[in-house]
Structure 1
Amino acid sequence: MTTESTETLATQTAETLPVETLFDQALQRYREGESPATLIPVFRDICARAAKSSPAWTCLAWLYLLNDQPKSAYKAAQKAVKLNPEDPQARINLAIAMLDSGQKGVRPHVELAQQIVSVVAELREEVQANFADGLQRKPDWSSLKRVQSWIFE
């Protein structure tokens, strides 16, 4: 099989797979260390196909943040927060995007995320793991460190 036919087959398969399967596969690729730059188009496609999926928008915002694209991250995080206002990770992504792009109004997002993670242990653990992941992938990420300290200190 040629490379061209393999790529065509992969595209056809991606187009016919349920969006939930594509999301799970893309998330697994991220966990295996694939770069945010290569995953951004995948998550943009997932968001286009499942426009009301807050987790997809949250992931896309995170990838944009890791790829130093705070304005795009801001737009994606806004959509995630609009779809699920109680998602602390969506709020954290929005706060980081706002800090990275020099916007004001971060406090309400941080405070709400802080309240949620203080009450829901499962979400607290998930958010802590995401902070650790972000610092592993981008060790000098000052806005991530600031938001982390605001939420957990």
Structure 2
Amino acid sequence: MPLLSEPTTPDSATPDSAIIDSAIIDSATPDSAIIDSAADAPPLSPTEQLFNEAVARYQAGEEAATLVPVFKDICDLAPKSSPAWTCLAWVYLLTDKADAAYRAAKKATKLNSKDPQARVNLVVAMLDSGQKGVRPHIELVQQLIEIDELRQEIVENIEEGLKRKPDWKSLQRVKQWLF
């Protein structure tokens, strides 16, 4: 799931009401380092646990439609969590709710303007709902994914989306524009 990387433990400085953007584990991090840092990390808040469980359910193949209310609840509990809004936008997109996806993606990009997946979700929602003005967002994503790790994550997320929704024309267009 876009933005939905492996569930992790939060930074100790992160308030319980926020789910951190650094919930994304760098795939280059050795497993032993993750285990060591997890042992030293403070316990997860109930909201963070709920988020991690929802991510795991998505990654296990659960239908997006059943996860919409879960991510909606998470956004209600942590309204300043860009990752939660990005995930909500994605599951809305997978369930053909472009207008709701647009609102969630807009909120995610407002909270974190440099999250390329939030921007991709915004562009796809705009295309799916017939809105214009995607070019500046595509150009920003192109700049942001110059970092190889971010590029690879976006590639994987787009492929995941096309696997779940093979005839997704707007996501195919975004893929063509970016790569």
SS in structure 1 at match of 2:62: coil
**Counterpart among 66, 72, 75 of residue 38 in structure 1:** 66
Q: How does 1:84-99 map to 2 (within 5 A)?
A: 84-99=112-127
What is the deviation of 1:121? 1.2
What is the deviation of 1:134? 0.3
Say if 2:145 is the partner of 1:117.
yes
Q: Structure 1-normalised TM-score?
A: 0.87
**Counterpart among 84, 87, 108 of residue 136 in structure 2:** 108
SS in structure 2 at match of 1:82: helix
Question: Which deviates more, 121-130 or 43-52?
Answer: 121-130
Q: Which runs of 5+ in 2 are unaligned?
A: 1-44
Q: 2:9 aligns to what? A: none
1:95 & 1:18 partners in 2: Cα distance?
31
1:73 & 1:29 partners in 2: Cα distance?
20
Say if 2:179 is the partner of 1:141.
no
User: Number of paired residues?
Assistant: 135
1:82 & 1:130 partners in 2: Cα distance?
21
Normalized per residue, which structure has more helix? 1
Say if 2:49 is the partner of 1:21.
yes
1:91 & 1:36 partners in 2: Cα distance?
20
**Counterpart among 84, 100, 104 of residue 72 in structure 1:** 100
Runs of 4+ in 1 over 2 A off after TM superposition: none
SS in structure 1 at match of 2:145: helix
Higher RCO structure (Cα 8 Å, ≥6 apart):
2
1:128 & 1:21 partners in 2: Cα distance?
27
How well do the aligned residues superpose, as a CA RMSD in angstroms?
0.7
